[in-house]
Amino acid sequence: MGTVKIETYYDTQPITSATTQNANQSAITNSTGGLNEDNVRIEGIDFRNLNTRGIRIFATQYNGRAIATGQSLPTLGLGATYYPYSSSVSAPSGIHPGGQVEHAVNHDETGVINTAIGKGTKLQLNGTSGIGLQVNDKVVVRWSAMIYAVIPGTQGTTIGDLMSQLIAPNQSNNGSGIGEWFWILYPKFDTTSNALTDTNFQNAADAGIVNSEIYLDPDNDSSGKSALSTHNTNHMTVIPLHLLSAGNATGQPDGANYADVNGPSETAVCNHFKVSGEFVFTVDNAITLYGVQLFTSGVWRFDFDPTGTTTLTPSVFLEADVCNPAAGDYGVDDGIAIERAKVDVIVYTGEMA
């Protein structure tokens, strides 16, 4: 009965049409099972989430890799080790090798690489159907990961190896040194198919969900520098690699990895540490979102304005060099080991139904 249409009686007619009367009666009669949500008003209820599409979907994906503290990296699992773009490490089989601009965070509960749906951080939304995002929907992605260890690179660890020369503009092999290197962790989105192939995961703009946004993305930026003035970084978490040690027994400053399975020491900040992040955006285009997955990339570092000016408009770039101070190179090739990791997605409606 939600929408019964009553025909109009015309007062100017001397005789009311029986057809009109019968039609009106039939319109009301055909109400079996017809009382529906149109007959219920929501006035007086002003909480937005009470409407039919307040929250469209909750979804979460946890890789399940949780072990005790202080374990060796082989125990953690080869698939949980991620080597950087600047590294040439490719063995043993089963690691995330160097030379790649980014890696899907896809080690499973046993610590091995697993690209299956529902493993690692590959989150499928609403089964194989995906969720049809509508314009103005709000997408909230939250994630966290336990950084189990910083995998030492091949560079030296004393201050002379890790502090660069003065920062020079437009020189990719210069930088501030200890403290500036980092990895990043970020979600990517698959709007291509429910197969959730790793190569189909893209940033929110390239996936066609949002318009006119430029996200820092190794896929697009590995060949050059990305100015922070033009590239969004609100979709990613920074994973720090080093701090400058206060000194050991001989008073020699040193570089300290941020995480080490052996715990705090003169060259290690802590055992393990958790990073988390949150990315919220408004949908610009109606499109089906099939899945979300975390990716990680490193080693990133800062540099001055890629245009070569001396103004303070820093950029970041993906490190391609390994530290060799004698040759004027001050890069690093530290990897990271990730233990547990998860990603959550909540889609809120942007419009009242």
Partner 1 sequence: MAVSFTNTFSNGTTIDATKLEENVNDLRNYVNGGISTSDFASDFAEYYHIMKGSFIATPSIYELITGPCVGHPDIPRAHAFSGKVLGALNADDNYVPGQAISFYMEEQGDLFLSFNCYPRAMDSQTGASPQAGDFAFIQVNLDGVSKPSTKCYFHAEVEPMGIHGNIPIWDRRMPIHETVVLQNVSSGYHNIYLEIGMSNRQSVFKYITFDLQGHYDLVS
Minimal distance, residue 276 CB to partner 1, in Å:
5
- Choose one: 140-148, 160-168, 203-211, 297-305; the region binding partner 1 (CB under 8 A): 140-148
Q: Which is nearer to partner 1, 225 or 342 (CB)?
A: 342
- Identified binder of partner 1 from the candidate list 3, 8, 13, 32, rule CB under 8 A: 32
Closest C-alpha to 73, from 103, 118, 107 = 107
- Choose one: 75-83, 178-186, 243-251, 304-312; the region binding partner 1 (CB under 8 A): 243-251
Minimal distance, residue 248 CB to partner 1, in Å:
7
- Choose one: 51-59, 77-85, 91-99, 100-108; the region binding partner 1 (CB under 8 A): 51-59
Q: Contact between 19 and partner 1 (CB under 8 A)?
A: yes
Counting Cβ atoms within 10 Å, is residue 300 exposed (0-12), middle (13-18) or buried (19+)? buried
Count of all residues that appear for the chain in the document: 353
Tokens (6 digits) for 183: 């990895």
- Choose one: 38-46, 74-82, 90-98, 178-186; the region binding partner 1 (CB under 8 A): 38-46
Tokens (6 digits) for 12: 């100017």
Minimal distance, residue 34 CB to partner 1, in Å:
6
Q: Which is nearer to partner 1, 50 or 91 (CB)?
A: 50
Distances, alpha carbon 70 to alpha carbons 66, 191, 309, in Å: 12, 39, 46
Contact of 150 with 270, CB cutoff 8 Å: no
Q: Contact between 270 and partner 1 (CB under 8 A)?
A: yes
Contact of 339 with 76, CB cutoff 8 Å: yes
Upstream peptide bond of 92 is cis (omega within 30 degrees of 0) = yes
Contact of 297 with 101, CB cutoff 8 Å: yes
Q: How far apart are CA 18 and CA 26, in angstroms?
A: 12
- Identified binder of partner 1 from the candidate list 81, 144, 296, 315, rule CB under 8 A: 144
Q: How far apart are CA 154 and CA 172, in angstroms?
A: 19
Minimal distance, residue 237 CB to partner 1, in Å:
11
DSSP annotation of 28 reads H
- E strands, 88-212, are 103-104, 123-124, 131-133, 138-151, 182-190
Per-residue x/- track, 271-290, partner 1 (CB under 8 A): xxxx-x-x------------
Q: How far apart are CA 196 and CA 289, in angstroms?
A: 10
Q: Which is nearer to partner 1, 206 or 260 (CB)?
A: 260
Q: Contact between 66 and partner 1 (CB under 8 A)?
A: yes
Per-residue x/- track, 69-88, partner 1 (CB under 8 A): xx------------------
The residue assigned the tokens 């009311």 is 16
Q: Contact between 30 and partner 1 (CB under 8 A)?
A: yes
Contact of 200 with 193, CB cutoff 8 Å: yes
Q: Contact between 119 and partner 1 (CB under 8 A)?
A: no
Q: Summarize as ranges the residues that interact with partner 1 (CB under 8 A).
A: 1-2, 15-19, 21-22, 25, 28-37, 39-40, 42, 45, 47, 49-56, 58-60, 62, 64, 66, 69-70, 142, 144, 146, 243, 246-251, 256, 262-266, 269-274, 276, 278, 340, 342, 344, 346
